[in-house]
Structure 1
Amino acid sequence: MCTSITLENDHSNYLARTMDFGFELDGKPVVVPRQYTFTPQLGETLTFPYGFVGTGRKLGAYLFADGVNEKGLAIAELYFPTEASYLEAPLPETTALAPHEFIMWVLGNISSIEELKNRIHEVSILNTENQLLGVVLPLHFIVADSSGQTVVVETHDKTLTIKENPVHVMTNSPRFEWHLQNLNNYLSLQPQNFPAKTFGKLSAVPFGQGSGTYGLPGGYTSPERFVRAVYLRNYIISTETADEALTGIFHILDNVTIPKGVNLKNDGSTDYTQYRAAFDTKNQRYYFNPYHTPEVFSLQLTEALLNSPAPIEYDVPTGFTTTSLGE
């Protein structure tokens, strides 16, 4: 599972996400330089003109769950169970990719959402297992760029389809259109308290502050997280500076972050938020917050990193950190 949002202000357009999963992914910040050569499981070696930074892991080649490239295009993959469908053989004159390799192709080749719309026909996503997990990953994707656009990429009848995202939120199954229609059930949600109401001779008043959010779903299912994230993003106070935007983003993510142990899978493993990440599309800066610490680590894409001879991995400190006062 996972939750993602985008948030725009005068400073940038940010894409942010939680990575919720049961299997320990051990993702870490990784920079891939320009002209990196990548060999998909099913095809010929590709050379990427653009460098990028994101959360990755090396399994022979590097694989990423999210990232932002030097052109300001950001993308994240989220689980799409029971809905994703893939081809058994590539279409003519296309690059054959496993589902988990699509992010690498996008970050290494695509500069904007408009370019993605024009070039998405160049790839075929095939029914191919992820080597780490031993399963075909059911995935869909949220994409943002510095223009403020946000789209969702899902497979329909084994075909990649780009969908405009008017609410700037994505979670998991069902299909994106279902989530948008489901918002019709929550028209009463508002930040203001409800006024008193008369029932016969009885005047009923709210018990206290927050009555306007009565009915806001609080569980961890995909539909509940979608509604909660849409509400929070829609009403959060204006975030004019970069610091205010990031503060708002991580407070929204706090509301869909899953602690260890409260959400168990059928096999007994715990599905929890292994990390949160945010991507500044105008300034190509990456923010990373792993589960074990409240600290947020940042990494700026620079010319030196983009021209490095090989990918660079970054380890982050472990353990809960505090700032001591008055000592």
Structure 2
Amino acid sequence: MCSKITYRTGTGTFITGRGMDWNDLAANTELWVFPAGMQRDGGVGSSPVGWTSRFGSVVASFYGSASSDGMNTAGLVANILYLAESEYGEPSAGGRETISVGAWAQYYLDNFATVAEAVQATRDDPFSIVGPVLPNGRVALVHLSLSDSSGDCAVIEYLDGHPVIHHGPEYRVMTNSPVYDQQLALNAYWDLIGGHKMLPGTLSAADRFVRLSYNLKSSPEYEDRTMAVASVFSQMRAIGMPLGMEDPDHPPNVSTLWRAIADHDARRYYFESTVKPSVMWVDLDEVDLASGAQAMAVDVSRDGLAGEVSAEFRPREPFTFLA
């Protein structure tokens, strides 16, 4: 399930793309805009972490109760991807506050302008993550990618109850299992072989990681913004799983339901559904994300949505995080 890259353009800006692979068309994704100044909490446990959002954001929801992807007004992007090896530990271990996995990405989007700020806060191991069972029967086991307008990146995995962090601009590719250390080792092996000679072609996350890495480093760094965005879309489409396909022996290998592309510098968030094929986007400067503004949403399954869709958002009560 899921793939992510961060692409460098020819003008030195960055674009992050991800695909969402999942086996449940009822995952009910919508696009939301959340203003600064919102009072938030982690949504679970007797002592959930609390905060007031510093930044506004646009996010893609999941099952109407999780922020699975998004970008904030500072250009920070957060992507949630499946990781079967995740071990969050016991809730409230060591007296820490708790946060639902559905709120994890939103916590970073609300609070931090850069990857470096987010990583520094995470190194303090500030909370326990709680991963509930999803409506499709799977436990919400995930890891998280962060990227910002400078090209800085981080991958955060919870193993043995604590965060393991890979931080640096070199960590621009992410898929799923195995854990990130092992993904890097496997990719190093294929780098020695050389992708122009042979690339692994199975549906596995490890093979997708290798192909994404090769494609990313082989792609031209376009100066034209339209071509740069198109390059990221093409790379995410090339790694996607066709609708209806599923590997029963490896449940994470399932159909791609949607793709999201975040242009950090332009503060533009693109979204493409594979079920309602069209490309829409939100310019963050076209929506009111100031403190005191209303949360708003748009249903991406509607017919006819394409182009810049900020005028299509309508006020809504913010969703409650997975518990």
Q: Do the structures match in fold with TM over 0.5?
A: yes
* Offset of residue 122 of structure 1: 5.7
- Aligned counterparts of 2:37 and 2:237: Cα–Cα separation in 1: 37
* Offset of residue 45 of structure 1: 4.9
Q: Which of 186, 189, 198 is the equivalent residue of 2:194?
A: 189
* Offset of residue 156 of structure 1: 2.6
Provide the residue aligned with 1:200 in structure 2.
Answer: none
Provide the residue aligned with 2:309 in structure 1.
Answer: none
Within 5 Å, which residues of 2 pair with 1:266-281? 271-281=254-264
- Aligned counterparts of 1:133 and 1:51: Cα–Cα separation in 2: 30
Give the stretch that moved more between structures: 281-290 or 303-312.
303-312
Q: Give the TM-score, by structure 1 length.
A: 0.82
* Offset of residue 179 of structure 1: 1.1
Distance 1:247 1:100, change over 3 A: same
Distance 1:167 1:235, change over 3 A: farther
1:46 aligns with 2:51: yes
- Aligned counterparts of 1:249 and 1:32: Cα–Cα separation in 2: 26
Give the stretch that moved more between structures: 163-172 or 99-108.
163-172
* Offset of residue 87 of structure 1: 2.4
- Aligned counterparts of 1:270 and 1:88: Cα–Cα separation in 2: 28
Is the CA contact 1:73–1:146 (under 8 Å) kept in the aligned structure 2?
yes
Is the CA contact 2:54–2:112 (under 8 Å) kept in the aligned structure 1?
no
Please list the CA deviations of residues 220-264 of structure 1 after superposition, one character each: whole Å capped at 9, or x if unmatched.
110110011001001012211211111110111121111122224
1:140 aligns with 2:143: yes
Distance 1:155 1:58, change over 3 A: closer
* Offset of residue 100 of structure 1: 2.7
Is the CA contact 1:53–1:286 (under 8 Å) kept in the aligned structure 2?
yes
Q: Give the TM-score, by structure 2 length.
A: 0.83
Within 5 Å, which residues of 2 pair with 1:224-235? 224-235=207-218
Within 5 Å, which residues of 2 pair with 1:288-307? 288-302=271-285, 304-307=287-290
Q: Which of 168, 171, 188 is the equivalent residue of 2:172?
A: 168
Residue identity (%): 25
1:314 aligns with 2:290: no
Within 5 Å, which residues of 2 pair with 1:102-121? 102-120=104-122, 121=124
Q: CA RMSD in A?
A: 2.6
* Offset of residue 96 of structure 1: 1.2
* Offset of residue 153 of structure 1: 0.6
Higher alpha-carbon Rg? 1
Distance 1:239 1:159, change over 3 A: same
Provide the residue aligned with 1:149 in structure 2.
Answer: 152
1:219 aligns with 2:202: yes
Provide the residue aligned with 2:314 in structure 1.
Answer: none
Provide the residue aligned with 1:193 in structure 2.
Answer: none
Is the CA contact 1:11–1:242 (under 8 Å) kept in the aligned structure 2?
no
Q: Which amino acid in structure 2 is aligned with residue 17 of structure 1? A: R
- Aligned counterparts of 1:130 and 1:107: Cα–Cα separation in 2: 24
1:7 aligns with 2:7: yes
* Offset of residue 15 of structure 1: 1.3
Provide the residue aligned with 2:126 in structure 1.
Answer: 123
Is the CA contact 1:294–1:320 (under 8 Å) kept in the aligned structure 2?
no
- Aligned counterparts of 2:34 and 2:179: Cα–Cα separation in 1: 32
Q: Which amino acid in structure 2 is aligned with residue 162 of structure 1? A: I
- Aligned counterparts of 1:58 and 1:226: Cα–Cα separation in 2: 26
Q: Which of 237, 249, 264 is the equivalent residue of 1:254?
A: 237
* Offset of residue 113 of structure 1: 1.0
